[in-house]
Structure 1
Amino acid sequence: MSQNSPRQSPWLARPRPNPSASRRVVCFPHAGGGAGFYRPWAERLAPTHELLAVQYPGRENRYAEPLVPTVDEIAVAAARALLTEPARETVLFGHSMGAAIAYETLRLLEAEGATHFTRLCVSGRRITDFPEEIDPAPRTDDELLAAMTELGGTQAEVLRDPDLREMFLPIIRNDYHLIDTYRPPRDAKPIRADVIAVIGDSDPQVDQRQAKEWASVTVGTFAWHEFSGGHFYLVDHVQRVVELTTRGLSA
């Protein structure tokens, strides 16, 4: 993978730059989300940690850039950007769509020989039970609105405003199609990093059994945790999720 200057990469946002940090947490947003979703995390991390959030094209400061249509393309770009960063113990955290992208990014990083990515936290996302057939057609506007309403969160509220809906619906349509057409590779080599799966106890998209299936992707340790709430449970449990994500990291 070719490498660019880490400070110039548009793929990595730093809410609070901390060049002296000995550890790093890299967060991957959900469908329709941007790096700003994780800004509250930066205030809750220990001084030894720096937060990076992956910024997908087509949103926030990258709004004018073309949307990326596949998980693989985003994972390649994210891995390339992360490989330019100084080697520090690093956790990848991804929520919903971001969990799939974080997993694929970590597979690429390990394939490149990187050993400092020691933990993968996957939130609100399953790794099994996908339909065999992939529908090539993107969801309709009504289907997207119904899906967002079911999941709740701030995006469902945003879509009630006609002007904001016109702005954000193309992003959400792209991301839903991106994740609807993604399938974890069946022949994937198990990752070395430890894995933690996290869900809300009333999430309509993933249950306890599906969360535990993430154990199959790693030869490292596995744990799973459940919080009260729906798909966006982590909004109400920011401090506890941050603590879970970074707990027990080596010095």
Structure 2
Amino acid sequence: MSEPRSLVDLSAQARLRTGAPAAAPRLRVLCCPPSGAAAGYWRFLVREDVHVLGVQYPGRESRFRDPAAPSLTALAEEAAAAAAAAPWAGDGVPLVVLGHSMGAAVAAELASALQHRHGLRPALLALSAKAAPGTDGPGTDGPGADEPADGDGPAGLRADELDSDEALVRWLRGLGGTPEAVLANPELLALQLPVLRADLRLSLAHDRLPAPVAAPLLLLRGTRDATVGRAAMAGWRAAAGGPVHVREYEGGHHPLAEHRDELLADLAACAGPSSSAPPPAPPSDPPR
């Protein structure tokens, strides 16, 4: 049975390429990519004993012709419904919901929807390089005046510059993670920038924390990430119903691929027990 278009089974794709046999996973990771990226962003996580699935946003790869989502919450709810209906749902393998940058906000909403709408409790919610809503600027409990605010704020890019291709390219170059060959290619930029612009608008408009998830929370950040500070990320604690763990990896805004084995070890170590029962029919009025 194939996954819905909103989910991409990256582990299955890897087996097709390599001919490797399927192995029983010890961990399942449902991954939400950053703004402008597609599900394939997470291919680096694939390992024989880890089942990796990427959330595919509209407007890219297999969903190239799909219109942009109306909200970040809609992205999460679509993915949650697909995950809850998947043949692996509730099979007892610990489910980690992981998101990076804009994807962290999607992941938080996704994990909450899985629990409160579909009765499927994740084993861990892992959020990387994204300020919690309401902490994207200086404040008494948010980042200080000298601390970076939010990579999707977007730091170094004013809201009135979102329509400027030059400003977006400058911002991407400052973040790192995008090959210079892409940034210097007008044809590739013509495909990527509209998707990035739509994602940034969704991220900027998202201003709420979801209902707390009864799972551990893992906060991830690069040691040299100039886009988000520790205090801004700490705001996600309000969305946690379990213990909170913090890990920092050497690097900038995109450190996860360079620390794959360390990341997978941290995900496994921080994950708690997840619900192994098949998800019941969703309630008509989930808590908020």
For the residue of structure 1 that corresponds to 2:52, the secondary structure is strand
**Native 8 Å contact 2:218 2:270 kept in 1:** no
Provide the TM-score with structure 2 as the length reference. 0.76
**Native 8 Å contact 2:135 2:235 kept in 1:** no
For the residue of structure 2 that corresponds to 1:163, the secondary structure is helix
CA distance in 1, matches of 2:131, 2:104: 9
Cα drift, residue 64 of structure 1: 2.1
Cα 1:139–1:197 shift into 2, 3 Å: farther
**Native 8 Å contact 2:227 2:253 kept in 1:** yes
My pick for the range that moved more, 20-29 or 68-77, is 20-29
Q: Greater relative contact order (Cα 8 A, min sep 6): structure 1 or 2?
A: 2
Q: Which residue identity is paired with 1:244?
A: D
Instruction: Show the counterpart of 2:173.
Output: 149
**Native 8 Å contact 1:148 1:156 kept in 2:** no
**Native 8 Å contact 2:216 2:242 kept in 1:** yes
CA distance in 1, matches of 2:179, 2:81: 29
- Structure 2 residue 38 is the aligned partner of structure 1 residue 14: no
CA distance in 1, matches of 2:41, 2:203: 19
Which runs of at least 4 in structure 1 moved beyond 6 Å after TM superposition? none
Identity %: 27
1:98-177 mapped onto 2 (5 Å cutoff): 98-127=103-132, 128-130=134-136, 138-154=162-178, 157-177=181-201
**Native 8 Å contact 2:124 2:216 kept in 1:** yes
CA distance in 2, matches of 1:75, 1:19: 28
1:90-105 mapped onto 2 (5 Å cutoff): 90-105=95-110
Cα drift, residue 155 of structure 1: 5.4
Cα 1:155–1:92 shift into 2, 3 Å: farther
Instruction: Show the counterpart of 2:148.
Output: none
Instruction: Show the counterpart of 1:178.
Output: 202
Deviations 1:60-114 (A, max 9, x none): 1221222224201101101110111221321000000100000011111121252
- Structure 2 residue 232 is the aligned partner of structure 1 residue 213: no
Q: Which residue identity is paired with 1:171?
A: V
CA distance in 2, matches of 1:237, 1:66: 34
Instruction: Show the counterpart of 2:60.
Output: 59
My pick for the range that moved more, 105-114 or 88-97, is 105-114
Provide the TM-score with structure 1 as the length reference. 0.86
Looking at CA atoms only, which structure, 1 or 2, has the larger radius of gyration?
Answer: 2
Cα drift, residue 138 of structure 1: 4.4
Cα drift, residue 171 of structure 1: 0.6
Cα drift, residue 249 of structure 1: 4.2
CA distance in 2, matches of 1:78, 1:200: 27
**Native 8 Å contact 2:4 2:82 kept in 1:** yes
In structure 2, stretches of 5+ residues that fail to align are 13-21, 139-158, 274-288
Instruction: Show the counterpart of 1:28.
Output: 32
Equivalent position to 2:220, from 198, 205, 208: 198
Deviations 1:13-39 (A, max 9, x none): 112235843541101100011111111
**Native 8 Å contact 1:93 1:245 kept in 2:** no
For the residue of structure 2 that corresponds to 1:236, the secondary structure is helix
Q: Which residue identity is paired with 1:32?
A: G
For the residue of structure 2 that corresponds to 1:196, the secondary structure is strand
Cα 1:69–1:150 shift into 2, 3 Å: farther
- Structure 2 residue 253 is the aligned partner of structure 1 residue 224: no
Instruction: Show the counterpart of 1:3.
Output: none
My pick for the range that moved more, 104-113 or 118-127, is 104-113
CA distance in 2, matches of 1:228, 1:9: 35
**Native 8 Å contact 1:15 1:52 kept in 2:** yes
Q: Which residue identity is paired with 1:76?
A: E
My pick for the range that moved more, 23-32 or 135-144, is 135-144
**Native 8 Å contact 2:245 2:270 kept in 1:** no
Cα drift, residue 189 of structure 1: 3.2
Equivalent position to 1:240, from 255, 262, 269: 262
Deviations 1:172-213 (A, max 9, x none): 11111111111124xx43221110000011112211222223
In structure 1, stretches of 5+ residues that fail to align are 1-5
**Native 8 Å contact 1:201 1:207 kept in 2:** no
